[in-house]
Structure 1
Amino acid sequence: MKPQSRRAAAAAAAVPTGTTTDAASGAPSAPDAPGRVPSRDRHAVAVSVPALVMFALGLWGLDRGGMWRDEAVTFQVSGRTVPQIWRLLHEVDAVHGLYYLLMHAVLAVHPGEVVLRLPSVCAAALTAGLVAALGARLVRPRVGLWAGLLYAISPMAGHYAQEGRSYALVAAGATWATLLFVRAVRRGSWWGYGAVLGVTCWLHEFAVLLLLAHAVSLALARAGVRVWRGWGCAAGTVSLALLPMVLVSREQSAQVAWLRVPTVETAQGLLRTFLGPADGMYWTCLGLAVLGLAGLAGRRGELTCAGVCLPLAVVPPVALMLVSQVSPLYVDRYVLYALSGAPVLVAAGAERMAGALGRLPAAGRRVPALPHSRLRSSGGPPVALRNDCPHDDEPPKRCPAPRDRPHDGGALNGPHSSHPPPAVPRPGRVRRPLIVGVRWLGRPSQVAGLAGVLGLVLVLVQQFPLLRDDRSPERRPDDLAAVSRVAARRLRAGDSVLFLPAQARNVALAYPGAFRGARDVALAESGAESGTLYGREVDPGTLRRRMARLDRVWVVADRDLLAGRWKPGSHVERAKLAVLAQEFVPGRELVQGEVAVRLYVRPSRVGGAP
């Protein structure tokens, strides 16, 4: 047997029966005391409770009665055939290709808005459980429970849990990959980490920034060559697998031309979103997170909670913001997965503060001296009363009292006595945990757990209005269902419709019933046939000839575009505006949010316009 194997066998034999192993360091931990919940069960509870809470919150108000523009894209693209989706990905939106194929299978069961959002709800619930598992592995199950619940009641997590887009799934994959990263550093198996992270990056390519976060974690841990080699092989495999998407998506960068350069205010807004929008909660969580940064770099080769979670929360957003100074690519939903690190840091800080409070002495508390607290024998060392309990469940152990001796007129205390009087200390201040003052609440761990639950309840009460308001369609940039209801009340079969810009056709693709029988003036080829999102439109000359035959046309348009607050770059869009301004006058207008449904008529028909 090799010396290393003999040492491992000896170490395993030295661990008593019933002793568990610490998940983060691998060191043996104390056995579960009689009557306490086993460690494995505590871990299961810590993981399952946040997942169930997140799932319940995700189902609450899931049917908002309307999709916004990005959800509508998911809905109408996923409803196409697989060859049509494949053709689309070569033209536009390749970054969401795997998600569209997944949703194609989901919506084949039942096409509807609730089913559209159910994968995001399940993914968010899984993420909450994985955040709890990460906290339990790096610190302890109680920290994992707090962290998972903080994630579950976060407004940002709840928002994307109810959105038919890929971001909640990316967050689940990234958190799972981080958990596998921690395990791989300890055990040396990297294939699971590489596989999960590779699939996550194909759900959205910006998840590759997680590799930078994990590299920083290894640097903080001062990992050995073997660990760096294993991680490097996994990272290289993920990068090579992602290369085709990167090459294709670079040709489709016009899709994000609307993005702007992030500023310091952008970073501050993201930090407030991670920790809590309200001032009181924000500063409290920020202070706890800073407290949780203690021990950022542990022993050589050992990952710490702060060493894993701080890079996870900070590195991807910062890296994307820095890149966006040259080429704007930053949107907060692109780095939603970084949110997973923040609750663990806050929970670890709360755990550290609870431990510090438990070690404080009871201020001003005086306790009387206990009898027989220190006995001195005739030639031996002092025998002390053991009054400290290493485990909360064990009662204090007292030394046996000395046998009674007959009192012979003070011989016991006399000068010739071989038994000197016991040394009784004077009453005074005794260092005892502050938690002794509230012993009636239970064990210190129970008191800390109760305080954590109460804190989470207060956080939930404070954020409940935000969670409730987020269930309203008004919290999204637009409500295409409301626009379709307006159009359905006014449009009749045979009416002509003009979408300005072409992206406004999204409402007809998502809710075709409202536009059934209407004629799309500018459309040359549908999106499914042309391999585009919104269809291919006619050239400006053809558009002018078509509109010359019309006396009235319904226009579904962006209000800012109609008001001249921005100018379109397409020749077709400019031709639409020019024909409307030169040959038509606006009539009846129905506005729904940022989208206007307006009737345009020729001047000769103004008086008789219906």
Structure 2
Amino acid sequence: MILTQSVSKSRAPKMGDAPTTRTCALVVLPPAFLALLLGLWQPGLSFWRDEAVTVGVIRRTIPDIFRFLANLDAVYGTYYLLLHPIADTLGTGELTLRFPSILATAATAAATAHLANRLMMPKAGLAAGLLYAGAPFASRFAHEARPYAIATMLTVLATIFFLGTIERPSRRSHLIYGGSLVLLGMIHLFALLVVIAHLVTLTLLRGGRTRLRPWFITVTAVATVLLPLIGVAMTQRNQVSWLRPPRWNDVSALLTVFAGSRALIFFMAAAISAGAILTSKNAGKYMQRTPMVWSLAAPWLLVPPTTLLLISQLYPLYSARYVSMSLPALALLASVGVTRVPGTTWLIPLVLYGALAAPSHMAQRRQSTEPDQLREAARIISSHASPGDAIVYLPTNRRAVAEAYPDAFQQLRDVTLNVSPASAGNLGGIEATPQEIRRRLTDATLTRVWLLEGEQLWRGPTLDALNHAKIDALEKSFRQDGRWRVRSLTLTLYVRTGHSTSDRRSDNRRLTGEGSPGHL
């Protein structure tokens, strides 16, 4: 059986049996270059709401960042602190803040190629790296100023170091492996689900069970180091209260986004099936080197998503982005079947893969398919607002738009705010009381007010007292002079009743197509 081959008898190349530098370069550089090229293709689309949080947090001072982390997003604290000096030095442009994710995706492609080369042979490494680099799901997170691409990179590195503890067990190899897990957990706690996959790998390998004791010691030490972060994260669980228990359609959606499209599901299924059939027949010297690939990659692909899906039936925590660290395993498994095509014709499936993935890549790079268009909202403000205009946010966390594109909002007065988000240690700041908000908005010196809210306009009894006071004051003392709708946002300009305005350029127009973009 392929899953019970002895570790000691495995013919996979070991760390000390490294191929030549030229071979390594030919294996890892093309995938890294492809991932970098795709990452630099249209990286300047508008920030979306989660990225707006990143921008808002990293623009704060270090003490303010720590004040924020004590209340929210502690699990992303390391990521915010990594990006803080970049924002201070280079600004908060889209490409600037996404470039670390682009580099991480290129490094992941190279590391995936290295891992497949180490376990099998150079062409398998090249195929695995290219499959990962060309994956739309990988490219999606290369274009986000969020930690998922970096977490995936660290997951591959941790898996390489885990392999080192199997091939050359020593105190040093376990220390390196443990250190990589600590760093991985600091970037994204959910990525540590790969540790369970590593445990499954040890139990599948004959001889692997003898290494369980040092593995448990290492993982226990890692958990001890990360315990404070885990404790804080548990107190902030309300941040994911919007999640719901996943259903079967979520499993189907995960298959689609991992593969890249419905057509690519069949491609990946065919490649993996071909690899499994050939491996089970143990056909030739090459196939004798693949059992470790299956023992390593199959749990890596299946265990983290399955674990989170099951946990989320009781405590909803599942989102496809939280298990993106399993995508390299899919590339590893598919590379087994792809590279069994005779001669140089094994490149044909890779060309087919690229052709099938191209529509998904092009769709991801159209602004109209983005989940938010915060930059367009900022452009509307820049074009139509006048110095001294006021702005009201509904609800308070819509201030993230102004955090993402602050230049457009500098000329506006935030009339309902008492304490800034940075000082309050949150995303929306602290607003005035409902009575004070009514008083401020009915001040006769205030003639034009902008209301920034979601695409769905909430009114009436669904509003809390604070937000009801905003709408009540605006509708009693002002009239609508224009409304602009962009994806996920609505901007309304209110002018005080009886006050004339020359700005009639807005006519209740929608700037993007109807419907939801279906972001992960």
Question: What band does the TM-score fall into relative to the shorter chain?
Answer: 0.7 to 0.9
**Corresponding residue for residue 87 of structure 1:** 67
**1:457 corresponds to which residue?**
351
Instruction: Decide whether the 8 Å contact of 1:505 with 1:534 is kept in 2.
Output: yes
Task: After TM superposition, give the deviation of residue 76 of structure 1 in Å.
Answer: 2.2
- Render the CA deviation track for 1:79-122: whole Å, top value 9, x for unaligned: 21111111110011111100000001222321122111110011
Q: Deviation digits for residues 393-450 of structure 1, max 9, x if unmatched? A: xxxxxxxxxxxxxxxxxxxxxxxxxxxxxxxxxxxxxxxxxxxxxxxxxxx5xx2xx2
Match of 2:415?
A: 521
What's the CA shift for 1:43? 3.4
Tell me the amino acid that sits aligned with residue 455 of structure 2. R
Alignment equivalent of 2:335, drawn from 311, 324, 347: 347
Letter in 1 for 2:396: A
What secondary structure, in the 3-state scheme, does the structure 1 residue paired with 2:456 have?
helix
**Alignment-derived partner of residue 166 in structure 1:** 147
Change (3 A) 1:595 1:276: closer
Query: How far has the Cα of 1:245 moved from its partner?
Result: 1.4
Contact 2:399-2:427 within 8 A present in 1 as well: no
State the shift of 1:562 in Å.
Answer: 3.8
- Calculate percent identity across the aligned residue pairs: 35
Aligned to 2:37: 56
Alignment pair present for 1:103 and 2:47: no
Tell me the secondary structure at the aligned position of residue 101 of structure 1: helix
State the 1:23 CA deviation: 3.8
Letter in 1 for 2:452: V
Matched, 1:586 2:471: no
User: 1:28/1:247 Cα in 2 relative to 1: closer, same or farther (>3 Å)?
Assistant: closer
Match 2:490 to one of 581, 593, 596: 596
2:469 aligns to what? 575
> What is aligned with 1:496?
390
* 1:104-142 deviation digits (Å, cap 9, x = unpaired): 122232112211111001100000011111211222221
Partner of 2:307: 319
* TM-fit CA distance, 1:214: 0.6
Match of 1:292 in 2: 275
> What whole-Å deviation, never above 9, does each CA across 1:524-567 have from its counterpart, x for those lacking one?
11112221223221222221221221454211111213478x94
Identify which of 439, 454, 461 aligns with 1:558: 454
The one-letter code of the counterpart of 1:196 is S
Which of 265, 269, 273 matches 1:282? 265
Residues 562-585 of structure 1 deviation map (CA, whole Å, 9 limit, x = unaligned): 478x945x5422332343455544
Counterpart of 1:141 (choices 107, 122, 134) is 122
| Per-residue deviation, 1:322 | 1.0
User: Relative contact order, CA 8 A, sep 6+: which one is greater?
Assistant: 2
Secondary structure class of the residue paired with 2:273: helix
User: How far off its partner does 1:40 sit?
Assistant: 5.3
1:505–1:221 distance in 2 versus 1, CA, 3 Å = same
Q: In the alignment, is the contact (CA less than 8 A) between 2:268 and 2:334 conserved in 1?
A: yes
The one-character-per-residue Cα deviations of 1:276-320 (angstroms, maximum 9, x if unpaired) are: 3042x3213112213434668x9xxx9611111011111111111
Contact 2:391–2:449, Cα closer than 8 Å, also in 1: yes
Q: Give the alignment of 1:428-447 within 5 angstroms.
A: 447=343
Q: 1:148 and 1:309 mapped to 2: Cα distance?
A: 14
Give the aligned partner of residue 285 of structure 2. Answer: none
Secondary structure of the structure 1 residue equivalent to 2:229: helix
Once residues 112 and 503 of structure 2 are traced to their aligned partners in structure 1, the CA distance between those partners, rounded to angstroms, is 60
Distance in 2 of aligned mates of 1:245 and 1:524: 31
Q: Which amino acid aligns with 1:556?
A: L
- What residue number does 1:32 align with? none
Q: Does 1:113 find its partner at 2:94?
A: yes
1:478 positional shift: 0.6
Q: Which has the higher helix share?
A: 2
Q: CA deviation at 1:516?
A: 2.0
Quickly say closer, same or farther: Cα 1:86–1:26, change in 2 above 3 A. closer
Aligned AA (1:70) = D
Partner SS, residue 457 of structure 2? helix
Match of 2:440 in 1: 546
Determine the C-alpha separation between the residues in 2 that align with 1:47 and 1:528.
43
Q: Does 1:231 align with 2:231?
A: no
Q: Equivalent residue of 1:517, what SS?
A: coil
Q: In the aligned structure 2, how far is the partner of 1:28 from the partner of 1:160?
A: 34
Q: Are the aligned partners of 1:292 and 1:306 in contact in 2 as well (CA < 8 Å)? A: no
Q: Does 1:509 align with 2:403?
A: yes
User: Which stretch of structure 1 is more off in the superposition, 148-157 or 524-533?
Assistant: 524-533
Pick from 220, 232, 240: which aligns with 1:248? 232
Distance change in 2, residues 1:238/1:118 (3 Å):
same
Q: Which residue of 2 aligns with 1:42?
A: 23
Give the greater-gyration-radius structure (CA).
1
Q: 1:154 aligns with which of 135, 139, 143?
A: 135
Unaligned runs of 5+ in 2: 1-7, 283-289, 505-520
Q: Matched residues in 1 for 2:15 and 2:125: separation?
A: 17
Alignment correspondent of 1:437: none
- Alpha-carbon distance between aligned partners in 1 of 2:158 and 2:393, rounded to the nearest angstrom: 43
Structure 1 residues 26 and 322, CA gap change in structure 2 (3 angstroms) = same
Residue 24 (structure 1) shift: 4.3
SS at match of 1:76: helix
Instruction: Please identify, of 133-142 and 122-131, the stretch whose mean Cα deviation from structure 2 is larger.
Output: 133-142
Cα distance, 1:25 vs. partner? 6.7
Correspondence for 1:271: 255
User: Partners in 1 of 2:110 and 2:121 — Cα distance?
Assistant: 14
5+ residue gaps, structure 1: 1-10, 12-20, 30-37, 355-443
Cα RMSD for the two superposed structures: 2.6
Alignment size in residue pairs: 481
Q: Which residue in the other structure is 2:296 paired with?
A: 308
Aligned equivalents of 2:233 and 2:500: distance in 1? 48
How many angstroms apart in 1 are the aligned matches of 2:175 and 2:15?
21
Structure 1: how far apart are the matches of 2:13 and 2:216? 22
Aligned-pair CA distance for 1:608: 9.2
- 1:143–1:603 Cα change, 3 Å: same
2:384 and 2:503 in contact (8 A); partners too: no
C-alpha contact 1:495 1:518 (8 A) present in aligned 2: yes
Quick one: distance in 1 between partners of 2:21 and 2:388?
67
**Residue pair 1:182, 1:303 contacting (<8 A) in 2 also:** no
Q: 1:41 deviation in Å?
A: 3.2
Relative to 1, partners in 2 of residues 1:28 and 1:199: Cα closer, same or farther, differing over 3 Å?
closer
Which amino acid counterpart does residue 90 of structure 2 have in structure 1? H
Cα distance in 2 for residues equivalent to 1:113 and 1:221: 45
Secondary structure of the equivalent of 1:524? strand
Change over 3 Å in CA distance of 1:507–1:224 after alignment to 2: closer
Write out aligned runs for 1:361-380 (5 A): none
Question: Structure 1 counterpart of 2:449, which letter?
Answer: V
Cα deviation per residue 1:180-216 (whole Å; 9 max; x = unaligned)? 1112111112111111111011101111211111111
Q: TM-score when scaled to structure 1?
A: 0.74
Shift of 1:159: 0.9
Provide the rounded CA distance (Å) in 1 between the counterparts of 2:121 and 2:21: 11
